[in-house]
Amino acid sequence: MRIIIEENYNALSRKAAAIIAREITVKPTAVLGLATGSTPLGVYEELIKMHKKEGLDFSGVRTFNLDEYYGLNPEHPESYHTFMFKNFFEKVNVKRGNVSIPDGMVVDVDQFCTDYEKHIRDGGGIDLQLLGIGRDGHIGFNEPGSSLASRTRLKTLTEETVRDNARFFGRKGQVPHFAITMGVGTILEAKKLLMLASGENKAEAVRNAIEGPVSSQVTASALQLHPKVSVILDGPAASLLKRRDYYAYVEKMASQVQAEVET
């Protein structure tokens, strides 16, 4: 697991965007797994800048979103459909037919989830999956106690998650209590994982995910089992890591090696 600690949120966003852009440059038909929420917003802003100023091309890219609230139609202002198109898809040249987001209004949920998994497999699998982390250590909407082998499914949200997301809806009672989410097992099948965390309120979850035991009570800890994971943190999010200095040293040495290779 590669741990990258940046000075602030803006630097974190630039670093993550550079990693995603490199993936697209190397493979113009890359399959990206995308996340919503406040943390990846800066990444999307940076990718939009790269598209407009540097010609970063999304025309061959395919995307699969992690999750969607169950019971919200795509046009709802707080749906993840709306979030993604408003904050990213409408501002780059990704083809609408290449965008996949769970359907929060589907009737046969089990069949939809089975089909979503098949759609990912038929697309060749996810090359790079972008992730955030909840305050309780969850990824996607895989709340504490989720099986580490879980697949895309309907998940009941915890009261903590409902409270955390209430700021987007105006009040707690308006937040959906269910979501369709990729499972932990689904996420772990991506070829590369990129998790972001910003702010002191994520520090405990980050510590538990990176330095704690692998546990279904902290579903982000399952990333320790994946061979190609990058975690990008700002200083406050990294503040509780016991091996913080070592992670910084590893990055410093890697940069020196890279510089020597390029000269």
CA distance 2 to 19: 13
Quote the pLDDT of residue 7.
95
**What band does 173 get if pLDDT is binned at 50, 70 and 90?**
low
Quote the pLDDT of residue 168.
78
Please write the tens of the pLDDT for every residue from 74-126: 999 999 999 999 999 999 999 999 999 999 999 999 999 999 999 999 999 99
Find the CATH number of the domain harbouring 247: 3.40.50.1360
Quote the pLDDT of residue 165.
82
Please write the tens of the pLDDT for every residue from 19-37: 999 999 999 999 999 999 9
First CA to last CA across the chain, in angstroms?
Answer: 27
User: What are the angstrom distances between the C-alpha of 14 and each of 4, 17, 19, 20, 45?
Assistant: 12, 5, 9, 10, 9
Indicate which residues carry an active-site annotation. Answer: 67, 136, 138, 143
* Structural domain boundaries, residue 179: 2-262
Q: 80-98 as b/e, with b when 16 or more CB fall inside 10 Å?
A: bbbbbbeebbebbebeeeb
Sheet holding 67-69, edge to edge: 67-69, 178-181, 153-156
Structure tokens at 100: 């996949």
Averaged pLDDT of the chain: 95
Range list of H helices, 99-243 = 109-122, 159-169, 184-188, 203-211
Share of the chain above pLDDT 70, in %: 98
* Per-residue pLDDT at 172 exceeds 60: no
**What band does 171 get if pLDDT is binned at 50, 70 and 90?**
low
* Per-residue pLDDT at 205 exceeds 60: yes
Q: How many domains is the chain partitioned into structurally?
A: 1
